[in-house]
Amino acid sequence: MTVAEFELQEYLKQRTALVDAALQTWLPSEALLPERLHEAMRYSVFAGGKRLRPVLMMAAAEAVGGRAEQVEHAACAMEMLHTYSLIHDDLPAMDNDDYRRGRPTSHKIYGEAMAILAGDALLTEAFRLLADTRANASVPAATTARVIELVARFAGSRGMVGGQVVDMESEGKAIDLPTLEYIHTHKTGALILASIQVGGLLAGADDDDLRALTRYGEAVGLAFQIADDILDVVGDQTALGKQVGADQARGKATYPALIGLEQARNRADELCQLAQDALSRFGTDSEPLRQIACYVVKRTS
Ligand code: GRG
């Protein structure tokens, strides 16, 4: 593939189709007991997400010379983890949102208790899948263990859950930019960075590759959340599938609120450039990662 030939939209479509097919295989069937729980898990997973984390994982694997198919199971695990976080984030005890991805949220359809359990089950299934011996048949056991530890660290109190807690505690308060950056890099950035590192690790990245992927992932993770903050101010409700202006209504600190819309846009562009610079050691196989960095900043949904 040459850079000139690469078409991002086509790439996203193909990789998303791979992820969706693998999710169909790995998620427990709705026909399996308890049917309602499996239906609730599938309802949220197949509600039309962008599959950004799985696609980033596949692109990272490809950048270091691997194949997308090599990381399919781990990509599905990240999407399950991501979906669990969305289901729990939407609960009345947290953001109390009625809509997600343009459809009623899990607790609106299945009730609060089942939504909590669907999230719990997706979180647990994600780790089962990361450890699955069939899916990891060609992966050294030490790499599988490293991947599981890494994902647990980025998803837990040192990562996404930690970011969510600081976010919750900061609501309605005036916070400074370092605190906001902590929230963004943990709540959102952690799973994005984990996806990229896991993609590299499973495809045999060496330490220098991993360092480069980490610089890329840190920049893209933060850029993604700044773009999300900007979309909450200027985005289109229909394209987003959720209410705009929700951050301000909840008294949440955002980049546009703290440094202004223009500066927030500049920071996101700067991070996109940083992400691209981090890829300098890779060849044309890193073109998907390169273009996804811009897509993340320019996206409309
Ligand atoms: C509840 C444990 C727990 C954690 C919640 C990730 C998170 C932490 C909450 C989700 C709420 C939120 C709006 C987070 C910001 C990150 C974000 C923009 C999530 C949406 O990700 P997309 O745009 O969603 O990739 P799709 O629907 O495309 O998958």
- In this structure, the residue with its CA closest to atom 7 of ligand 1 is 85
Q: Which of 53, 28, 48 is nearest to 121 (CA)?
A: 28
pLDDT at 99: 93
Residue nearest to atom 20 of ligand 1 (CA): 86
Give the C-alpha separation, 229 to 261, whole Å: 9
Q: How far is the CA of 137 from the centre of ligand 1 (A)?
A: 31
What distance in angstroms lies between residue 136's CA and the mean position of ligand 1's atoms?
A: 27
> pTM (2 decimals)?
0.95
Would you give per-residue pLDDT tens digits along the chain (301 residues)? 566 668 999 999 999 999 999 999 999 999 999 999 999 999 999 999 999 999 999 999 999 999 999 999 999 999 999 999 999 999 999 999 999 988 999 999 999 999 999 999 999 999 999 999 999 999 999 999 999 999 999 999 999 999 999 999 999 899 999 999 999 999 999 999 999 999 999 999 999 999 999 999 999 999 999 999 999 998 777 766 666 777 777 788 899 999 999 999 999 999 999 999 999 999 999 999 999 999 999 887 7
Ligand 1 mean position to 284 CA, how many Å?
A: 30
Ligand 1, pocket residues at CB < 6 Å: 49-50, 52, 82, 85-86, 88-89, 101, 160-161, 164, 187-188, 228
Q: Beta strands of the chain (E only): which ranges?
A: 99-100, 103-104
Comparing CA positions, the residue from 144, 166, 9 lying closest to residue 77 is: 144
Alpha carbon distance 207, 191 (integer Å): 20
> What does the alpha-carbon distance between residue 240 and residue 234 come to, in Å, rounded to a whole number?
11
